[in-house]
Amino acid sequence: MKKLLAFLFAALMLIAAVPFAIAAETTAVPTNLPYITSDSVGFIDYAGSDAASGASPDAAKKGFGAARGTGVVGLLGQGGTMVASGKAYMGASYKLPALRSPLLITSQYAGVNYMNAEPAKNPACAFKMADGATFTINSDVIFDDIIVFQEGANQNSIIVTSGATLVIGDGVVNMTNRDFQVKIVVQAGGRVIVGGGNFEIENKGGEVIEGYTYEYLKVTQTGTSTTVPTVDYSDVAPAVVYVAYNEGNNSNDGLSASTPKKTLNPPSETQGALHVVRGGGNLVVCGRLYIGVDFDIPKLGSELVISGAYDGTNYVNPEPAKNPAGGAIKMATGKVLTIGTDVRFENIIFHQEGASQNTIRVANGATVVFGEGVMWTSIRDFNIKLEVEKGGTVIFENSENGFESISGDGIVVVPETASKFEATRAYDGRFTDVTIAHWFYDYVKTAYEYGLANGTSATKFSPDAKFTVAQALTAAANIHTAYHGTAVPAAKSGEAWYTPYVNYCLDNGIINVGQFADVSKNITRGEMATVFANILPDDEYEAVRDGSNPDVTSGMACYAAVQKLYKAGIVGGDAKTGNYRPNDEIVRSEACVIFTRIAAKEYRAK
């Protein structure tokens, strides 16, 4: 019946059918099929409002939005079902954030079919994109029981990236105003499974499987939770366990610093530290707590305190800076620690070691507190990032926050004194290469206290090191989010750590498409000005002085930006010449001058 419906739509509306253009294909039965396992649901209708709840057709969200945004994707960070009860309109090219489980995009939900092919030139209920726009998916997506409409004169594309699977169900109907349909581009490492529809497919080294359908729903479309029950450890008494990866052994009892466990391991396994504290209590990191795989701490019997100090002994040792020896949490490159229970961190070091960014993720229902003595160190030009899922809560008791970024739909609580552009931590003289004798001392100190700059290690700032474009855009995005109360989405699977920051700057008009061809190169002083002249509203750049830099002339691309920052007292010139040196590569100490003068107006030149 679904295939007959698709045929009738095509016949009645005289839609030209474009055959598949497949460079390579396979007929093998696919493995690792995506299934809908999350019961999260969000309704979308372009006639709706992003201020609505998205819980029903009458309260549908208007747009897609970001994982932490107000659009429908903000409801679906766990995956689940996006219901197009009207027009699911994508007004610009869009990259779907990486989701925790597959996403179904459909116009049929809980026994109600919202599909409406009239009027033929603009179906009342369909998935459509702006002229020439692309929809990029980085995790598994399923289309079924939905109209996919090609409207604009320039072809739309769905891009399937490496590691992602796109499933086209047999209820998909293609419609078009043109002589072509929406195109699916399958990149190397991507996969598309085609059970219906009438797309043009361009295979760029991925996998294309035709004529395959299957039942992909593992949750019923009723809104009833299907979460697998967790083990109840509430009757287990809290305990104390010691852990040290290098010195420990899981055959130890873990009851002292001389007999520590080696690894966490799930609490259901008798070997490993979590089994000892499955009822909650204290996990004492007397050496290094190393996490070599993506790992979930499930719901325990009570709060778990993870600390490098216990019973009067402090095991925290930030040396060597490349691999802190005591009271340190580190992970294999790119790994994620998901916390699904109440945890308090105290006197602990979060150390970013690997070239791919690590993530601490706070799951739905968990509360994580960052208390006294928490430190963040890194041997990279980025730190560990924090994700707070919807229903999760993070509390910073002392406003100490050295995470590279915070994203997600959960709640983040900081002390009342902490607000945009206020000091959130104290500089304790930790950087041996930043002393009061240096001209840049106040700027580095203030940038650190405002959370706008971190060291290259626990004890070094490297003031003369160069600043890359990626680092500059990361700083710009963080200042913009602090001012506007927004957030940078988490990096998707396979993305470079800086990609969300670059995209954030593009989306918010801080930079333009093509402005930087290579974000890994060092940024010049002129380029730095073009970025930081765009991150705040114009009234925040109020002119406080006249004049200009003699070596920055009206014919230069950076002229307007440098003038804006100069007159606002944010940048200056060399002491003798007044030159700005726009073509010189900026160094970290000079970058802190800009950060500080943007955040703390009392430091601006007059």
User: How confident is the model over 333-391, as pLDDT tens digits?
Assistant: 999 999 999 999 999 999 999 999 999 999 988 999 999 899 999 999 899 999 988 88
Q: Are strands 328-331 and 348-352 parallel, antiparallel or unpaired?
A: parallel
Residue 102 has pLDDT above 70, yes or no: yes
Residue 66 has pLDDT above 50, yes or no: yes
Look over the chain and give the mean of its residue pLDDT values, rounded to a whole number: 87
User: What residues contact 363, with CB distance under 8 A and at least 6 apart?
Assistant: 296, 338, 339, 340, 389, 391, 392
Both ends of the chain: CA-CA distance in Å?
75
Contact 382, 455 (CB under 8 A): no
When mean pLDDT is compared across 366-370, 416-420, 534-538, the lowest value belongs to 416-420
User: What residues contact 50, with CB distance under 8 A and at least 6 apart?
Assistant: 61, 62, 63, 65, 69, 70, 71
The residue among 71, 78, 69, 76 whose CA lies nearest residue 41 is 76
pTM above threshold 0.75 = no
pLDDT value of position 460: 92
Position 53, amino acid:
S
User: What Å distances lie between residue 47 and 148, 270, 420, 450, 479, CA to CA?
Assistant: 18, 55, 34, 41, 33
Q: Could you tell me the residue ranges of all domains in the chain?
A: 2-210, 239-413, 441-603
User: What Å distances lie between residue 52 and 46, 64, 346, 444, CA to CA?
Assistant: 12, 13, 39, 43
Residue with tokens 């670059």: 502
* φ/ψ (deg, to 5) at 411: -105, 130
Position 175, amino acid:
M
Distance CA 143, CA 168 (A): 5
pLDDT in tens, 398-416: 766 889 888 877 788 776 4
Which tokens is 252 given?
A: 């130890």
Residue 20 has pLDDT above 70, yes or no: no
When mean pLDDT is compared across 78-87, 120-129, 399-408, the lowest value belongs to 399-408
pLDDT value of position 97: 81
Contact 489, 68 (CB under 8 A): yes
Longest CA pairwise span in the chain (Å): 82
pLDDT value of position 29: 62
Where does residue 442 rank: exposed (0-12), middle (13-18), buried (19+ CB within 10 A)? middle
pLDDT value of position 264: 94
The residue among 263, 305, 268 whose CA lies nearest residue 284 is 305
pLDDT in tens, 231-288: 889 999 999 999 999 999 999 999 999 999 999 998 988 889 999 999 999 999 999 9
Residue 448 has pLDDT above 60, yes or no: yes
User: What Å distances lie between residue 175 and 3, 160, 197, 210, 496, CA to CA?
Assistant: 14, 21, 9, 20, 36
Distance CA 510, CA 467 (A): 18
Compute the average pLDDT of residues 298-317. 96
Which tokens is 498 given?
A: 């800086």
Contact 341, 366 (CB under 8 A): yes
Distance CA 84, CA 45 (A): 6
User: What Å distances lie between residue 512 and 136, 491, 496, 561, CA to CA?
Assistant: 20, 20, 19, 14
pLDDT in tens, 454-511: 888 888 999 999 989 999 999 999 899 888 878 888 888 888 889 999 999 999 999 9
Which tokens is 390 given?
A: 């919807």
Residue 422 has pLDDT above 80, yes or no: no
Position 538, amino acid:
D
DSSP 305: E
The residue among 94, 191, 93 whose CA lies nearest residue 141 is 191
pLDDT value of position 17: 35
Half-sphere exposure of 247 (CA within 13 A, CB side): 16
Q: Are strands 112-113 and 108-109 parallel, antiparallel or unpaired?
A: antiparallel
DSSP 111: T
pLDDT value of position 71: 85
Contact 595, 479 (CB under 8 A): yes
pLDDT value of position 224: 36
pLDDT value of position 482: 83
User: What Å distances lie between residue 342 and 39, 233, 278, 363, 385, CA to CA?
Assistant: 23, 13, 12, 10, 19
Compute the average pLDDT of residues 180-207. 94
The residue among 395, 393, 345 whose CA lies nearest residue 372 is 345
Distance CA 15, CA 170 (A): 18
When mean pLDDT is compared across 129-143, 165-179, 436-450, the lowest value belongs to 436-450
Residue 4 has pLDDT above 50, yes or no: no
pLDDT value of position 186: 96
Distance CA 419, CA 402 (A): 16
Position 216, amino acid:
Y
